[in-house]
Amino acid sequence: MEMSAKETPLRLSPTKDSLNRLFAVSGNVCAFPGCDHPVFDEDFELVAQVCHIESAMPGGERFNKKSNNEARRKQENLMVMCLRHHVKTNNVLAYPTKKLREMKRDHEAQFLEKSKQIPIPPMAIDKAYDEIKRISEEILITVKGTDSKVDYLIAQNERLAAYVTTNIPVADNSPFKSEIDTIVSLRDNFNQQNAIDLFEKFREKNWDKLSPNEKFRTLANLGICYMETNRDKAAADLFIDALTYEPELLKAQSLASLGYTMKGDIINSELMIEKTLRADPQNVDAYQAMIHMLSIKGLSFEEIVPRIPESIRQQQEIAYALAFVARERGLLNDALTWLQIALENAQGQKADLTAGIANILLETINGESFVLNGTIDQPSKNKANLVIQYYDEAWNAISASSLRPSRSWWLVNRAVAKKFLGDRKAAYEDILEAWELNGDFWTSRHLAVAALEYGQKVKMWEALDKMGVTAVNEDEKRQTLLFIAEIDVAEGRREKGIAALEALLEDGLEEKATDYVRNKLVELYSTGGKIETAEALIDQLVKDRPEEVRTYLTQAQFLIFIGRKDEAKKSMEKARTLVNAATPAPEIHELAELFQSFNEAKQVAELIEMIADVKVYSRITRQLLMAYYEAGENSKLIKACEDLLAAYGPIDMVTELLSWAYEGLDDFENAIAVLTDYLAKYPDDQLIQSRLAFIYYRQRDREKLKALLSTVDHIDQTLPLEVQFKLARMFDYIQDHERFVKFAYEVRRNFYEEARAHDAFLSLSVETRQEESETKAPVTVTLNSAVSVSVNETNITYIIEDKEPLFASRGELSPDSPIGSALLGKSVGDVFTADRDGQSQEFKVLHVAEKFSYAFSESIQLLTTKFAAEAKTKKINLVQKADGQLDLEAFFCTLEKGTKCRSVY
């Protein structure tokens, strides 16, 4: 099949069918030779990565422009690897297409035989498919997004060392060779601090005896040790100083240019780089300095890379510098790729590089969702596990070395990853170890939080004491006192906490801090029942800061708290009139959320518009789109969605909202086009399929609907219940009775424990029965029939079901079970014996029905008994009133009218 050469490359997701085959021949292990990391864990969660051999997009790894979109999504171009090996194979020089194809072929050859394959339940494929989709959207978000900052969860990444460089040996004939070499070797053993001490002593003792070259080497090596212990300024001064002793030596020049760059002295840095490159056009150190210099000058990452000759980009120093700059720009995937390349080409210590990779992976985890929900999604869990492994490796490599205090933040980051996985104990222990190595303010603060969370009160107070001692500026001192006051409050010593806050106010804090403490106090007074005190403080606030948005936010929150909603709204309106371009974004956002709680979508949209960058797909942008949708701002919604889709390609939520907007304007043609575009990328996405199905349904276009649904062989269980039922309903409309009955029954089965499943199932079957001619009850027991029997003087109903898992509590029975196999083929009135509870018993067949019809009456029964409290009462009353003769009209489902955007469910 030849595709047009002018096709635009799109990142098309693999189809579910491809995934199914790919996973089956994976043997449930990573395809990297020797790796035994599983693909699915015991709960069938996808804990590995589906990777492209030839990247889907230009600029990606091993992109082949001669291939085409369809070929790139095929099983042949996909491999399953664990996250670690996915990152590793991003180095295209070490892992070219040919090598990966060999790896894939050798790996899959072991599992081609059917008997060696693992069966994957459709549910697992649905979930995996969803996750792959989310990951590709998430990548876009992390690359371009700017809005995720989570206070104390965010590790201190600026500690990532900016440079790496190699030792500078001394000439063989130098009388100081062995002494200098011994000191330098300490660096290789991670004893930088010892090396620094010894160098300083060496310098003091021998300086006058050293030749210029030996002086240069002493200063340069000393500078490198300072650099590696995060003392950049001392390092820069040494590099610049060192040049005076060997002005024509290239190594001296390139280190000096690094020194100038570190000090932000662009002019001297540029001059020095030029000089070095004239003498040696491939000089790695000079290019390393150049990368940082260009970055400081403000060039984009895409502009910087081509300035570096391709022949040296793979060198450790260069790759590392590129990774560092990419990370600074938030280009986390680029950073990860270049770090991996640096690691592959590293000589000497690799711990910093390994930790660097861990560091960036940690940044790609969406901590926001953790803060909101206390949990993270499966792809993030996989990342967190890998982060921990990398830090383990890095930390073990430097254990018992003098680098540990300066790298103790690795442990803090590892603790963050452990916390993401829910292991507070391990997180606490890591931070404690870090703190014992390095009790600075930052680590102490982390320990205070972790100890609080893990219930280690004594340590928490120790950490708080240390915060007090190590706080160097007003902000840190205030943080400490506030922390203590808030702990007092949290532990029930409200009065003490409040007194401390009041004392802080008395002391005359700076303006911002004053406002923070006042707001905190208002909250404490009002939750403590001191309404009048709170009100007085708010009056004071209004008097002192009548032009501050914050003032009215506090007032509105207070009024909502005490139930004076109308007045609260007035405060919100007042705040809204004060909002301007200078208002801090968090305040505007907070105000928008207040309006959201009053369902004032128009005001929400107006406010979010001020802080959202609609060119960037982020949490804020999503909020804006929802506000447009709820406010009925269709044309604004269309404009914003189209811009986003043009920039990012199909994203499910944006596609869905855009289709709603078009539909709201009765523009079916565009609504269909946007959904069809999405389905070209994700052909198995049933959420979008069902959106499209409904438009065809509204247009009464049975033929298009039939074509659209032709490949649907089960209903995606990851969808909301309403969507699943609505999709099932579509099969009735296209008169595919078999699939309708099968799917409707399946959805009910999936949500059996929820009242609304039975409500919806009844509505659905009543509605469709009106159109359906009477189905004849089966005469004999077959698969998928319900049969009631009398045994041992009790009546039991079984459903013959060939499924995994079976719910025995609901009467489900495998056709292979002793009773199941005996029942098959029997008719009403038949009597037979079978083993039950370990003894042979006599069964008599009383009724046989289709399981679907049986489910109908069982749902009525469940809604009038087990779910009576939750069920929609109106329906139940009607069922009871009709007493067997159901009032069908009352059930009539408002399917089309009730369909809402997924985000609303």
Contacts for 553-556: CB closer than 8 Å, 24+ residues apart: 553/587, 553/590, 553/591, 553/594, 554/518, 554/519, 554/522, 556/594
**β partners of residue 841:** 834
30 binds Zn ion per the rule CB under 5 A: yes
Q: Which is nearer to Zn ion, 26 or 655 (CB)?
A: 26
Closest distance of CB 47 from Zn ion, Å: 11
509 binds Zn ion per the rule CB under 5 A: no
Closest distance of CB 63 from Zn ion, Å: 23
> What is the distance between the alpha carbons of residues 871 and 816, in angstroms, rounded to a whole number?
36
Q: Give the range of 28-36, 112-120, 138-146, 196-204 binding Zn ion by CB under 5 A.
A: 28-36
Contacts for 394-400: CB closer than 8 Å, 24+ residues apart: 394/351, 394/352, 394/354, 394/355, 394/358, 395/351, 395/355, 397/190, 397/349, 397/350, 397/351, 397/354, 398/190, 398/349, 398/351
37 binds Zn ion per the rule CB under 5 A: yes
Q: Which is nearer to Zn ion, 105 or 457 (CB)?
A: 105
| Nearest CA-CA partner of 29 in 44, 48, 16 | 48
Element (H, E) at 840: strand 839-850
DSSP, residue by residue, 366-419: -HHHHHHHS---HHHHHHHHHHHHHHHHHHHHTTTSTTTGGGHHHHHHHHHHHH
Interface of this chain with Zn ion, residues 83 to 112, rule: CB under 5 A:
85
Q: Which is nearer to Zn ion, 37 or 875 (CB)?
A: 37
At residue 597's C-alpha, the angle toward residues 592 and 601, to 5°, is 60
Residue 741 has a CB neighbour count (10 Å cut-off) of 23
Closest distance of CB 32 from Zn ion, Å: 4
Q: Which is nearer to Zn ion, 95 or 751 (CB)?
A: 95
Q: Which is nearer to Zn ion, 82 or 482 (CB)?
A: 82
Q: Give the range of 82-90, 562-570, 589-597, 787-795 binding Zn ion by CB under 5 A.
A: 82-90
Closest distance of CB 31 from Zn ion, Å: 8
Q: Give the range of 32-40, 238-246, 418-426, 853-861 binding Zn ion by CB under 5 A.
A: 32-40
Q: Which is nearer to Zn ion, 392 or 746 (CB)?
A: 392
The residue count for binding Zn ion (CB under 5 A) is: 6
Q: Give the range of 10-18, 27-35, 238-246, 882-890 binding Zn ion by CB under 5 A.
A: 27-35
Q: Which is nearer to Zn ion, 51 or 318 (CB)?
A: 51
Closest distance of CB 35 from Zn ion, Å: 3
32 binds Zn ion per the rule CB under 5 A: yes
HSE, CB side, 13 Å, CA atoms: give it for residue 793: 0
Q: Which is nearer to Zn ion, 79 or 638 (CB)?
A: 79
127 binds Zn ion per the rule CB under 5 A: no
**In this chain, which of 17, 35, 593, 664 binds Zn ion, going by CB under 5 A?**
35
Q: Which is nearer to Zn ion, 35 or 271 (CB)?
A: 35
- What b/e sequence results for 627-646 when a residue is b if at least 16 CB atoms lie within 10 Å of its CB, and e otherwise? bbbbbebbebbbebbeebbe
Closest distance of CB 106 from Zn ion, Å: 14
Closest distance of CB 788 from Zn ion, Å: 53
**In this chain, which of 25, 47, 82, 862 binds Zn ion, going by CB under 5 A?**
82
Closest distance of CB 48 from Zn ion, Å: 8
Q: Which is nearer to Zn ion, 111 or 152 (CB)?
A: 111
Measured CA to CA in angstroms, residue 631 lies from 628, 635, 799, 850 at distances of 5, 11, 48, 46
Q: Give the range of 77-85, 284-292, 385-393, 673-681 binding Zn ion by CB under 5 A.
A: 77-85
What is the chain's Cα-based Rg? Answer: 34
Element (H, E) at 303: helix 301-304
Closest distance of CB 120 from Zn ion, Å: 19
Closest distance of CB 808 from Zn ion, Å: 39
Q: Which is nearer to Zn ion, 389 or 790 (CB)?
A: 389
Contact, 538 vs 526, CB < 8 A?
no
DSSP, residue by residue, 699-737: TT-HHHHHHHHTT--S--TTS-HHHHHHHHHHHHHTT-H
Closest distance of CB 436 from Zn ion, Å: 34
**β partners of residue 847:** 788
Residue ranges binding Zn ion (CB under 5 A): 30, 32, 35, 37, 82, 85
